[in-house]
């Protein structure tokens, strides 16, 4: 179990300087995510252009893994169709949870930096919180915050 696998340079960098950090007003879709176990709270905001994600931002507070993951998410989904985003969600989910996941590094791009998380099962929820939150936003965000617990 190597710490450097979890806290890769990309993760440390995105935690220290989160990209697309802040609120997006008005947003076409947004949702709050909360992981009560560790207190992580995120809001994901999305602007749509037809079926495409025109812009995405997030704010909130959390651990390095959840902040970096959200930062990477906002970069990764911009310009993608909703179907492509769902597909990406599935790939990230597999990357985080399946030991033998064949990471399609080319398609995942920088998101592949999250592959170390699966060695730290207690932290998988940190990395997936923003993805579940994005899903909730795109599924016409319910009023209640989603929870990974």
Residue 12 Cβ vs another protein, minimum distance, rounded to whole Å:
5
Q: How many CA atoms lie within 13 A of 72 on its CB side?
A: 29
Kindly state whether residue 146 participates in binding another protein, applying the rule CB under 8 A. Answer: no
How far apart, in Å, are the Cα atoms of 48 and each of 54, 77, 100? 5, 11, 34
- Which of 10, 19, 21, 41 is in the footprint of another protein by CB under 8 A? 41
Q: Is 40 in the site for another protein (CB under 8 A)?
A: yes
| Token pair recorded at residue 33 | 């995510």
The pattern of x and - marking residues 117 through 136 that bind another protein according to CB under 8 A reads ---x-xx--x----------
By CB under 8 A, residue 94 contacts another protein: no
- Nearest to another protein of 106, 122 (CB atom): 122
Give me the least distance between CB of 68 and another protein, in Å please.
10
d(CA 112, CA 108): 6
Q: How far is the CB of 110 from another protein (least distance, A)?
A: 18
| Widest Cα–Cα separation across the chain | 44
Size of interface with another protein, in residues (CB under 8 A): 22
Give alpha helix (H) positions in 55-123.
64-77, 82-97, 105-108
Residue 8 Cβ vs another protein, minimum distance, rounded to whole Å: 11
Judged by CB under 8 A, the residue of 10, 48, 64, 84 near another protein is 64
Binding to another protein by residue 19, rule CB under 8 A? no
Backbone angles phi, psi at 37, to 5 degrees: -60, -45
Count helices and strands (H / E) in the chain.
6, 4
């Amino acid at each position: 179990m190597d710490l450097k696998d979890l806290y890769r340079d990309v993760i440390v960098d995105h935690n220290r300087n989160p990209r697309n950090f802040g609120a997006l007003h008005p947003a076409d879709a947004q949702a709050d995510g909360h992981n009560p176990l560790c207190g992580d709270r995120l809001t994901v905001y999305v602007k749509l252009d037809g079926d495409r994600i025109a812009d995405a931002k997030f704010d909130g507070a959390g651990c390095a893994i959840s902040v970096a993951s959200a930062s990477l998410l906002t970069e990764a989904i911009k310009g993608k169709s909703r179907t492509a985003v769902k597909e990406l969600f599935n790939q990230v989910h597999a990357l985080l949870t399946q030991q033998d996941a064949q990471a399609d590094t080319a398609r995942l791009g920088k998101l592949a930096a999250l592959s170390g998380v699966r060695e730290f099962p207690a932290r998988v929820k940190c990395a997936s919180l923003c993805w579940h939150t994005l899903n909730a936003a795109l599924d016409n965000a319910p009023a209640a915050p989603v929870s990974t617990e």
